[in-house]
Amino acid sequence: MQQSTSEFIELRGGRHHVRVWGEPDAPVLFLLHGWCEVSASFQFVVEALRHSWRVVAPDWRGFGLSQWNHGHYWFADYFADLDQLLLHYSPAAPARIVGHSMGAVVSSLYGGIRPERVAALVNMEGIGLHVSTAEEMPGRVAQWLRQMGEEAAFRTYPDRASFAARLRRDNPRLTPARAEYLARHLAREVEGGVSWAADPRHLWVNPTRIHLDEAKACWRRIQAPVLFIHGDDSDYIRRAFADQPGDMESRMACFARHRLEVVADCGHNLHHDQPETVAALVEEFLS
Angle at 32 (CA atoms; ends 127, 45), nearest 5 degrees: 100
pLDDT 10s per residue in the chain (287 long)? 789 999 999 999 999 999 999 999 999 999 999 999 999 999 999 999 999 999 999 999 999 999 999 989 999 999 999 999 999 999 999 999 999 999 999 999 999 999 999 999 999 999 998 878 889 999 999 999 999 888 999 999 999 999 999 999 999 999 999 999 999 999 999 999 999 999 999 999 999 889 999 999 999 999 999 999 999 999 999 999 988 879 999 999 999 999 999 999 999 999 999 999 999 999 999 99
Q: Which residues have C-beta within 8 Å of that of residue 91, sequence separation ≥ 6?
A: none
Q: How far is CA 96 from CA 24, 201, 245, 287, in A?
A: 16, 31, 30, 11
pTM of the model: 0.97
Q: Give the Cβ contact number of residue 270 at 10 Å.
A: 23
Which of 90, 27, 108 shows the shortest CA–CA distance to 287?
A: 27
Report the amino acid identity of residue 126.
G
The full set of domains in the chain, from first to last, is 5-132+209-286 (3.40.50.1820)
